[in-house]
Amino acid sequence: MIEPTEQRITLGPLTLAAQSWGDPAASPLLAVHGWLDNAASFAKLAPLLATRFHVIALDLPGHGHADHLPAGTHYHFPDYVRVVLAAADVLKLQRFALLGHSLGAGVASLTAAAAPAHIEQLYLIEGLGPLGDDGTQTLARFRKALAAPAASDKSLRRFRDIDQAVGARAIASGLRAELARPIVERGLRQT
């Protein structure tokens, strides 16, 4: 299997990370992962796509090796679109294919809608787009969100070793351990 190349992408005070596969001269494909995932979620698929594309899988802010947002700020869905477009700009991608999985599929859909001149092809895996409703529960959800503790107030979950972390992820997600391992390895921080 082709090993990825690690990249750092500086967006002002924020540094993202990415993994890339394939020939940099090939047509670019920017990949956006799902919620609770990171660039390593494309570890099995990207080498197959690298026969046709230069695959660049982003770590969104707060995921994988990317910086977290400062304390007191929040991860809003439209901001991910800005991050994807800013990363594409830093990478000098004028036109590119865009691949999104789950949350990343929703981000990719909105990115393609917001900047169609940049997107050559759009690929979605488990892509439902942003979820919505008729608005009757908006106020109740807003109040619940305000009452919830900030993510920065949560203590980190600790594991005795990588295998325990992989096992927990496999159980929670339904992924086989060998598929969960690259995502877990990239997302762990040693303390």
On average, the pLDDT of the chain sits at 89
Q: Which residues contact 102 (CB under 8 A, 6 or more apart)?
A: 33, 34, 35, 37, 125, 126, 127
Residues 162 and 88 in one domain: no
Active site residue 173: no
Token code pair at residue 26: 């090939």
Examine the pLDDT at 28 and tell me if it is beyond 60: yes
> Residue 115 sits in a domain of what CATH number?
3.40.50.1820
Do 93 and 185 sit in the same domain of this protein? no
Which of 4-18, 59-73, 80-94, 119-133 bottoms out in mean pLDDT, i.e. has the lowest?
119-133
- In the block, tokens 């890339």 appear at 20
Which two three-digit tokens encode residue 133? 């409703």
Residue 143 within a domain: no
Domain total of the chain:
2
* Position 150 confidence tier, pLDDT thresholds 50, 70, 90: low
What residue has token string 């921080």? 189
Q: Distance from first CA to last CA of the chain, Å, rounded?
A: 31
Which residue in the list 102, 152, 155, 173 is annotated as catalytic? 102
For 76, the domain range is: 5-130
Query: What pLDDT, on the 0 to 100 scale, is given for residue 136?
Result: 82
CA dihedral (21, 4, 61, 38) positive or negative = positive
